[in-house]
Amino acid sequence: MFSHAELWRDQKSVWKVGHSGDQNVGDLYATGDLPASFETLRQQALSKQDEKDDVDYVFDIPLDLAAELTSFRHDEWAPDQPFFELVEKSA
């Protein structure tokens, strides 16, 4: 499984975090000026990973960082909001 998140500001890369767990479930790369929450998220994920190795917890680290900045996560939605929105071309 692969996940990746990065922040760019003024056309410059600020940080990048990624995970490619196909070969190594603990794979994680991180560069740049990382968010303050990165280390906490990393420690939590690795702790869970040590307890249960058949679930890829490290996969969530980049997604959680992106969700902190955007308030969006691809696998979550508000139950009071439609899952899909129909968009039609105006006449």
Question: Tell me, what's the pLDDT at 37?
Answer: 96
- Supply the mean pLDDT for the chain: 90
Give the global pTM.
Answer: 0.78
Closest by alpha carbon to 21, among 47, 43, 54?
54
Taking the mean position of all CA atoms in its chain, how far away is CA 84? 22
Does residue 90 register a pLDDT over 90? no
pLDDT tens across 60-69, in order?
A: 999 999 999 9
83 — pLDDT class (breaks 50, 70, 90): low
The answer to whether 19 and 27 have CB atoms below 8 angstroms apart is yes
pLDDT for res 86: 74
Domain range annotation of the chain: 2-70
Q: Quick one: what percent of the chain has pLDDT higher than 70?
A: 95
CB 45 within 8 A of CB 65: no
Residue among 50, 28, 49 at smallest CA distance from 39: 28
Nearest alpha-carbon partner for 64 in 49, 87, 42: 42
